[in-house]
Chain A
Amino acid sequence: MSLPSGRDLIAIDRTLLHERTGSVALRALEADGRPVAYPDRVYALMDHIVSNAPDRGANSARMPDGEAFITETRDAAKTAGIHLIDVLDPNQGIVHVVAPELGIAQPGLSLVCPDSHTCTLGGLGALAWGIGSSDAEHAMATGCLQVKKPPQMRITLSGELRDGVTAKDIALHVIMRFGAAGAKRCAVEYAGDTIAALPIEGRLTLCNLAVEFAAFTALIAPDEATFDYVKGRPHAPKGAAWTQAVSEWRTLETDPDARFDFEHAIDAQDILPTVTWGTSPEQAVPITSAVPTPTTDDDHRALAYMDITPGTALSDIALGGAFIGSCTNARLTDLRAAARILAGRKVAEGVRAVCVPGSGSVKRAAEAEGIDRIFTEAGFLWGSPGCAFCFYAGGETFAPGTRVVSSTNRNFEGRQGPGVRTHLASPAIVAASAILGRLGTPENITA
Chain B
Amino acid sequence: MSGLIQHSGIAALLPRDNIDTDQIIPSREMKKVSKLGLSDGLFAGQRYRAPGSRKRNPDFILNQPPYDQATILLSGKNFGCGSSREHAVWALAEFGIKVIIAESFGEIFYNNCVRNGILPIQLPPAAIAELAAAINLTIDLEATSVTATQGGDSYKFDMAPSDRDMLLKGLDPIAMTLTHEAAIKAFLKKDRAARPWVY
Contact = CB atoms under 8 A, between A and B. Distances in A.
Interface in B69-112: 77-78, 81-87, 89, 104, 106-108, 111-112
Interface string B16-32: 11101011001110111
Contacts of A148: 160, 162
A27 B33 CA distance: 8
Nearest to B105: A185
A330 B152 CA distance: 54
Contacts of A414: 22-23, 26, 45, 51
B2 interface: no
Given A21-B86, A181-B81, A298-B16, A134 B115 contact: yes
A23 B32 CA distance: 10
A181 B83 contact: no
B174 interface: yes
A229 interface: no
Contacts of B187: 1, 11
Contacts of A413: 22-23, 45
Range class of the B interface residue count: 35 or more
Interface string A55-67: 0000000010100
Most A CB within 10 A of own CB, among B115, B176, B198: B198
Contacts of B176: 146
Given A21-B84, A28-B35, A214-B104, A135 B22 contact: no
Interface stretch (B4-12, B132-140, B189-197): B189-197
Contacts of B82: 116, 211-212, 410, 412
Contacts of B188: 11, 143
B107 A185 contact: yes
B55 interface: no
Given A1-B183, A132-B108, A412-B22, A146 B78 contact: no
A280 B108 CA distance: 18
A109 B31 CA distance: 34
B27 A392 contact: yes
A427 to B, nearest CB: 22
Interface stretch (A241-249, A262-270, A314-322, A357-365): A241-249
Interface stretch (A2-10, A78-86, A372-380, A438-446): A2-10
B42 to A, nearest CB: 14
B144 interface: no
Contacts of A215: 107
Contact of A214 (B34, B45, B85, B107): B107
Interface string A219-250: 00000000000000000010001101100100
A394 B78 contact: no
A211 B86 CA distance: 16
A11 B18 contact: no
B193 to A, nearest CB: 11
A21 B160 CA distance: 27
Most A CB within 10 A of own CB, among B23, B87, B107, B188: B107
Nearest to B27: A393
Contacts of A132: 84-86, 89, 108, 111-112, 115
A130 interface: yes
B120 to A, nearest CB: 12
Interface in A1-58: 1, 3, 5-7, 9, 11, 13, 20-21, 23-24, 27-28, 34, 41
Given A9-B177, A24-B34, A297-B16, A410 B27 contact: no
Contact of B33 (A24, A135, A138, A296): A24
A144 interface: yes
B184 interface: yes
A184 B188 CA distance: 32
Contact of B28 (A69, A150, A394): A394
B57 interface: no
B161 interface: yes
B124 to A, nearest CB: 14
Contacts of A28: 35
Contacts of B143: none
A274 interface: no
A346 interface: no
Nearest to B171: A5
Nearest to A115: B84
A62 to B, nearest CB: 11
A301 interface: yes
B58 interface: no
Contact of B108 (A27, A65, A116, A237): A116
Interface of A: 1, 3, 5-7, 9, 11, 13, 20-21, 23-24, 27-28, 34, 41, 63, 65, 68-69, 72, 108-109, 114-116, 130-135, 137-138, 141-146, 148, 150, 180-181, 184-185, 211-212, 214-216, 237, 241-242, 244-245, 248, 280, 282, 296-298, 301, 391-394, 410, 412-415, 418
**8 closest A-B pairs by CB:** A5-B162, A237-B197, A394-B28, A132-B86, A132-B112, A181-B78, A418-B51, A241-B197
Given A5-B160, A148-B160, A392-B28, 4 more contacts: A11-B184, A24-B34, A115-B84, A212-B81
10 contacts: A7-B162, A9-B180, A13-B198, A20-B27, A63-B28, A69-B33, A131-B108, A134-B115, A181-B18, A215-B107
Interface of B: 15-18, 20, 22-23, 26-28, 30-35, 45, 50-51, 77-78, 81-87, 89, 104, 106-108, 111-112, 115-116, 160-162, 165-166, 173-174, 176-178, 180-181, 183-184, 187-188, 191, 195-199
